[in-house]
Every structure is written in C-alpha cells, then in structure tokens.
C-alpha cells in the first residue's frame, strides 16, 4: 500500500520531475544539435526530427533502469537517518529547485549543465539535513563535490585539445589542398570509421547503462568497436562514396536523396548532358561572403552579402521609420478581429471560435515555432549593432572552404550528432527521472530506497516525451547563443567539435574525471576556433556568458534547494503542541 498521507509529495515530485525533463530537452538537447544546425549540416526541422527520434529511442530502449539514491556519492546515505519520509521530501525539494533553476537559465539563454544542477540541489539538501558533514566535499574517487568545481576547467580544456587535434588533421590533410574534394572523398571512409568507433565507445561507456556493455571486457569492447566501425566504413564505401561522387563530381542534378540507397549502381548512372554547365550541385555552407582567397565553385560570391545587406537595410528602415509608420502596438489595436466573440467565451458557439481561431493557432505556433526559427540570423546578431559587428569580425578571422569539400563532412557530422543524441537520451534523462524514481519507490513501497531505486519503463517513456517537447518548444532559446554566436561554423569544424567532445566524454568515463557534455562541446568549439590562429576568431563575450552560467549554477541551485528543504523540514506542525 502506498503512503497515501504523502500523496501530495508524490504529486509535486511528479510534476516537477516532468518539468525538469522538459527543461533538459530545452537546454541540453538544444546544446547537442546547435553545432549541426549552425554549420548547416541540418536544418531546424531535420534537427527537430533527429533529436525527437534519437533522444526518445535512447531513453526508452537503453535508458537507466536504476537510479542512484545518493546521486553519485554527493550526499551520504546516513543523512536520511533511516526515515523514508525524509528521503522522499529531500528528493522532492531537489527536483523542484533543479527544474525551476533550469527553467530560469533556459529563459535567460544560459546553456548550463543539467547534471551539475541536480547534483548541486542534492548537495544543498544534504547540508540542510545533516550539516556540512553530510556531503562529500572532497574528490571521493571522482564522485565528490570537488569534482564539480574541477570540471569547470578539466572538461573544456581536454575537449578543446581533442577538438583542435581532430580539426588540424582535417585541415592539413584535406582542406588546405589545392583541390581538396578528391582528398575529402578518399578520406571519407576513414573518417566514418573513426567517427563510428568513437560513437560506439560513447554508447558503451556513457549511453547504454541498462545493457551492461561496460562488462564486455577489453577484448569484447575492442571487437564491438572495430566491428561496428568496419561495418560503417564499408557501408560508406558502398553507398556514400558513389552518391557524393555522382552529386558533386558529376554534378548530376537529377540525383535525389533516395538515390543514396542505390549504392554501387550510381557508378553506372549517366549525368545529364548539361550537368557540368550548371552550378555546383551541393548546399551552400557559407556563413559569410567569400574573401579573395576563397572559392565556392560557381555559386554567386555576393549571395550572402546581399542577404546580410538586405537584413541591415530592413533593420535600418525599421529604426528610422517611427515617424512615418504606425507602431507595432498601434497596429495591434487597429487590427480587426475577424472572429469576434458574442457573449462569454465559455458559451458553446464562442468556445468553438476560441479553440478554432484563437487558442488553436496560438498552440500550433508555440509547438512548431522552432521549425521556422531562423537560427543563423539570431546567432549573427542584428547588423549595425555592437554585437553584430563583433560577431562579423570573428567570422572574418576564419577561412571558409569549398562547399564541395564541406559536403563530405556534413554527412559525418549528422552521424555524430545523432549518436551523441542517442547517448544523451539514454544517460542524461536520468537527471530528472532518477529523483522521480526514488520518490515513487518510497511512496509506493513504504520503505527507504537503498543505493539504487528501480526505474520503470513508463517513467522513461513519459520523461522522454517531455524531453522532446522541451526541445521543440523552447530549445531555440539556447541554440541562438551557441554555434555561430561563438565562432564561424562549417561541417568540417562541426564534425571536429562533436568528435572531440565525444572523445573527452569517453575518456572521462573511463578514468572517473568530472565532465559535462555541455562543457565538452563548448570547450571543443573554442579549441577548433583557435585553429584559425587568431584569438579574435572567438566571440569571447558569448563564452563568458556561458561560463558564468556554469559557475553560478552550483551555489545558487545548492543554496535554494537547501533553504527549501530546511524550511519545509523544520516548519511548525499546526495543531500540535510544541
């Protein structure tokens, strides 16, 4: 029989656990796909689809089936003093505070670590329960609170190093060639092999806790990694190489995405007679206009300039037209309601009008706003402003490479983004579902949860749905301060950033180093940007804003959670004698 006297705690814990999952989707998932969208390897609708499928699949299929009741060794189990009610209340306070803090950070466009948020809240609750001695402040085998502070420097620095190494290899072996496309095409299977090996290790060590893949042993892990990578490389030879060759080298503009599955048969496909006379048959990956030392085939050089100039013209016209045109607020007042209400809104006839023409379109706009959001314009900033000039200057410090070459790395970047998303869903959703599982276990079984609490599949399903909704409805608020907001992106750079971040997470998992995926991708982005050879190729103000969010999370989230726990735990019980 459940503890029905604690039903209200169960209800509060459930609501805020789902809110926390929503915020993880808005903050963390957006973090994962910002690089791919910024480099134009994926459009916003494609990123939304990829994130929805991969995050949900990772969370439900191989997500954690147990939850750590002391959150990785931060708070000692003895702090609960054997009282299940106190344990339940502790995790309710922790998840309430964490979800509210993540909502605030997402609204402020702060990409923070969702892991550090919940860990800080648990630590604050521990201090409220048993004082400073209830929390492991030291290293504690890589599980103490000191690891959080160490992670601020360790994670970004290591990721920056790996990201830089990967990009420098790509840069000097492929990009700087006089004609880089043949080298990019030839190196494709090798790049796919490397990326697949790293992504397989990522799933083994971080992204599949319920499968027990860490127990494969050295030989089993090596066989799984090499075997998976070899299969991916072979598939790239059979399908990817002929597809890219037909589309780029032959300029066959009749090739569609579904022709990819024809594989080797594309070698025998004849391109139209006028194919070589047409524009390069690839997407334009440029973020700014070409310089004199850059070339992108037959694509018009001034296309991006014209677009940016038009943006600047529109902004200038908007700023100078206040005396000639009605304000936006005036237009709203003067707008004629085509579907007016006659009487109270809750009357049957009016209720239909509200749902059909007012509430319905508003809900649709909010749910699908991300799909039409111009992320590149948001990251570039407004022309003519200090921010816009600062970002434009950073772009000028980075060289852009031919679209034909960048297209080769675009495919690999999509692979790394999707696998990282799968691993993220499997692993990081537990930041919300873990506390919820502990709350449910104590409420349902009327006993103190041990070191591990079971996580039911239905919890993972509900949490994954909230995570996806969070990304779709609020993720744009985080994506707009990442990617090109920090430095100029391209598929070759984005692939290096994501691979460098994944390598860091894998090594950290093996050696017990404290890292956050948020910090890893940010550090890797900085490392790749430094390969431009100019410190001004980075928008350091954007980096400082992100770093501030990391640092502030720990004391603020911990303090708020501790205060909430202390107030509720020690509140007077009315109706009882003191």
Q: Mind listing the pLDDT tens digit for each residue in 134-144?
A: 787 776 666 66
Among 126-135, 321-330, 407-416, 420-429, name the one with the lowest average pLDDT: 321-330
Q: Does the pLDDT of residue 101 top 50, yes or no?
A: yes
How many whole angstroms separate alpha carbon 480 and alpha carbon 44?
12
CA distances (Å), origin 480, targets 42, 331, 385, 552? 15, 28, 17, 21
pLDDT given for residue 240 in this prediction: 93
| Per-residue pLDDT reduced to its tens digit, 198-212 | 888 877 776 555 566
Rounded CA separation 427/467 (Å): 13
Answer yes or no: is pLDDT of 288 > 70. yes
* Average pLDDT estimate for 349-358: 73
Residue-averaged pLDDT of the chain: 82
pLDDT for the residue 295: 62
Residue linked to tokens 């430095």: 487
Q: Is 412 helix (H, G, I), strand (E, B) or coil?
A: helix
**How many Å apart are CA 249 and CA 419, to the nearest integer?**
29
Check pLDDT > 70 for residue 358. yes
Segment among 108-117, 314-323, 383-392, 507-516 with least mean pLDDT: 314-323
Residue with tokens 């400082």: 544
Q: pLDDT band at 301, cuts 50/70/90?
A: very low
Q: What is the mean pLDDT of residues 410-427?
A: 84
What is the spatial distance between Cα 110 and Cα 481, in angstroms, rounded to a whole number? Answer: 8
pLDDT tens for 309-319 read: 444 444 333 33
Categorize the per-residue pLDDT at 242 as very low, low, confident or very high, splitting at 50, 70 and 90: very high
For the stretch 243-247, contacts whose Cβ atoms lie closer than 8 Å and that sit 24 or more positions apart, written own/partner, are 244/185, 244/188, 244/407, 244/408, 244/411, 245/185, 246/271, 247/281, 247/282, 247/407
Token pair 């992106």 in the structure block, residue: 489
Q: What is the CA radius of gyration of the chain?
A: 26
Q: Which of 243-252, 285-294, 493-502, 532-541 has the lowest mean pLDDT?
A: 285-294
pLDDT band per the 50, 70, 90 thresholds, residue 232:
very high
pLDDT band per the 50, 70, 90 thresholds, residue 326:
very low
DSSP 3-state assignment of 487?
coil
**Distance between CA atoms of residues 456 and 66, nearest Å:** 8
Q: Is the pLDDT of residue 146 over 90?
A: no
Question: What is the mean predicted confidence (pLDDT) over 441-465?
Answer: 85
Rounded to 10°, the helix 430-445/7-24 angle is 170
Backbone region of residue 337 per phi and psi (left: phi > 0; alpha: psi in -120 to 50; beta: other values): beta
Most distant CA atoms of the chain, gap in Å: 95
Asked if pLDDT for residue 334 goes beyond 60, the answer is no
Helix, strand or coil for residue 135?
A: strand
Residue 238's CB is within 10 A of a number of other CB atoms, namely 13
Cβ-contact 567, 93 below 8 angstroms: no
pLDDT attached to residue 328: 43
Q: Tens digits of per-residue pLDDT, 56-79?
A: 988 887 777 666 666 556 777 777
A 10 A CB-CB count for 231 gives 12
Residue 137 three-state SS: coil
- Mean of pLDDT values over 242-249: 91
Q: Is the dihedral of CA 141, 142, 143, 148 positive or negative?
A: positive
CA distance 347 to 331: 29
Q: Which two tokens stand for residue 281?
A: 């048959």
Q: Given pLDDT bands bounded at 50, 70 and 90, which one contains residue 235? A: very high
Q: How far is CA 352 from each of CA 168, 232, 348, 489, rounded to the nearest angstrom?
A: 60, 53, 6, 47
Average confidence (pLDDT) over 281-295: 80
**Would the pTM of this model clear 0.85, i.e. be above it?**
no
Tell me the per-residue pLDDT of 30-58, one tens digit each, with 9 for 90 and over: 877 889 999 999 988 898 899 899 889 88
User: 1 falls in which pLDDT band (50, 70, 90)?
Assistant: low
Alpha helices, DSSP H only, in 512-571? 517-530, 540-569
| Nearest in space to 107 (alpha carbons), one of 464, 476, 518 | 476
What pLDDT is recorded for position 207? 57
pLDDT digit string, tens, across residues 500-527: 988 888 787 676 665 777 888 899 999 9
- Number of neighbouring beta carbons within 10 Å of residue 220: 12
- Which one, of 428, 558, 556, lies nearest residue 121 by Cα? 558
Tell which wins on pLDDT, 366 or 51: 51
Percent of the residues in the chain that have a pLDDT greater than 70, as a whole number: 83
Residue 20 pLDDT level (bands cut at 50, 70, 90): very high
Burial classification of residue 461, based on how many CB atoms lie within 10 Å of its CB (0-12 exposed, 13-18 middle, 19 or more buried): middle
Phi, psi of 162 (to 5 degrees): -70, -40
Averaged pLDDT, 247-266 = 90
Q: What is the structure's pLDDT at 378? A: 85
Per-residue pLDDT band for 237 (boundaries 50, 70, 90) equals very high
Beta-carbon count within 10 A of 494 CB: 33
Contact (CB, 8 A) for 471 and 127: no
Measure the CA–CA gap between 415 and 401, rounded to whole angstroms: 21
Residue 300 has pLDDT above 90, yes or no: no
Give kind and range of the element (H or E) at residue 452: strand 452-454
Buried b (16+ CB within 10 A) or exposed e, 388-418: beebeebbebbbbbbbbbbbbbbbbbbbbbb
**pLDDT the model gives residue 73:** 64
Of the candidates 141, 107, 148, 142, which has an alpha carbon nearest to the alpha carbon of residue 124? 148
What local confidence, expressed as pLDDT, does residue 186 receive? 92
Q: How far apart are CA 90 and CA 77, in angstroms?
A: 12
Burial 2-32, CB ≥16 within 10 A → b, else e:
ebeebeebbebbbebbbbbbbbbbbbbbbbb
Which pLDDT belongs to residue 436? Answer: 92
Please state which of the ranges 64-73, 284-293, 431-440 shows the lowest mean pLDDT: 64-73
Q: What is the pLDDT of residue 201?
A: 82
Count CB atoms within 10 A of the CB of residue 470: 27
Lowest mean pLDDT among 72-76, 438-442, 491-495: 72-76
């Amino acid at each position: 029989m459940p503890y029905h006297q604690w039903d209200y705690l169960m209800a509060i814990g459930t609501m805020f656990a789902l809110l926390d999952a929503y915020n993880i989707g808005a903050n963390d998932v957006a973090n994962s796909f910002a690089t791919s969208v910024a480099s134009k390897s994926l459009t916003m609708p494609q990123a939304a689809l990829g994130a929805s499928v991969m995050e949900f699949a990772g969370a439900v299929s191989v997500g954690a089936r147990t939850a750590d009741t002391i959150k990785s060794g931060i708070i000692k189990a003895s702090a609960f003093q054997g009282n299940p009610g106190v344990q339940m209340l502790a995790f309710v306070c922790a998840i309430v505070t964490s979800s509210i803090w993540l909502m605030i950070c997402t609204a402020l466009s702060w990409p923070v670590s969702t892991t550090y948020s919940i860990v800080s809240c648990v630590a604050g609750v521990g201090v409220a329960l048993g004082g400073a001695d209830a929390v492991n402040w030291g290293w504690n085998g890589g599980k103490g609170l000191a690891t959080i502070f160490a992670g601020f420097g360790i994670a970004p620095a290591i990721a920056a190093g790996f990201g830089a190494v990967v990009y420098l290899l790509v840069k000097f072996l492929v990009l700087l060639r006089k004609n880089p496309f043949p080298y990019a095409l030839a190196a494709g299977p090798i790049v796919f092999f490397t990326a697949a090996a790293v992504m397989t290790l990522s799933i083994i060590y971080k992204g599949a806790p319920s499968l027990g893949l860490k127990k494969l042993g050295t030989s089993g892990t090596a066989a799984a990694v090499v075997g998976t990578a070899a299969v991916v490389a072979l598939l790239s030879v059979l399908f990817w190489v002929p597809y890219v060759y037909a589309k780029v080298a032959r300029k066959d503009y009749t090739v569609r995405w579904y022709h990819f599955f024809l594989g080797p048969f594309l070698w025998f496909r004849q391109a139209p007679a006028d194919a070589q006379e047409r524009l390069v048959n690839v997407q334009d990956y440029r973020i700014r206009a070409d310089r004199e030392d850059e070339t992108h085939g037959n694509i018009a050089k001034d296309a991006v300039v014209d677009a940016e100039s038009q943006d600047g013209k529109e902004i200038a016209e908007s700023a100078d037209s206040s005396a000639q045109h009605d304000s936006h607020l005036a237009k709203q007042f003067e707008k004629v309601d085509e579907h007016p209400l006659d009487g109270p809104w809750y009357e049957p006839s009016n209720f239909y009008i509200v749902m059909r023409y007012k509430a319905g379109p508003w809900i649709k706009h909010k749910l699908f706003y991300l799909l039409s959001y111009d992320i590149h314009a948001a990251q570039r900033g407004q022309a003519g402003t200090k921010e816009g000039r600062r970002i434009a200057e950073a772009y000028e410090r980075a060289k852009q490479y031919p679209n034909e070459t960048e297209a080769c790395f675009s495919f690999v970047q999509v692979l790394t983004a999707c696998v990282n998303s799968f691993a993220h869903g499997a692993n990081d959703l537990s930041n919300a579902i873990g506390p919820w599982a502990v709350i449910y276990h104590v409420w349902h079984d009327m006993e103190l949860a041990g070191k591990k609490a079971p996580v039911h599949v239905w919890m993972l399903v509900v949490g994954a749905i909230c995570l996806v909704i969070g990304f779709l409805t609020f993720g744009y608020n985080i994506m707009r301060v990442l990617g090109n907001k920090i430095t100029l992106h391209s598929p070759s750079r984005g692939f290096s950033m994501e691979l460098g971040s994944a390598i860091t997470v894998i090594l950290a998992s093996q050696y017990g180093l404290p890292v956050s995926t948020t910090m890893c991708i940010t550090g890797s982005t900085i490392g790749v940007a430094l390969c431009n050879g100019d410190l001004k190729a980075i928008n350091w103000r954007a980096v400082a804003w992100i770093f501030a969010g990391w640092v502030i999370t720990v004391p603020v989230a911990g303090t708020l959670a501790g205060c909430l726990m202390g107030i509720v735990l020690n509140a007077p019980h009315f109706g009882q004698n003191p």
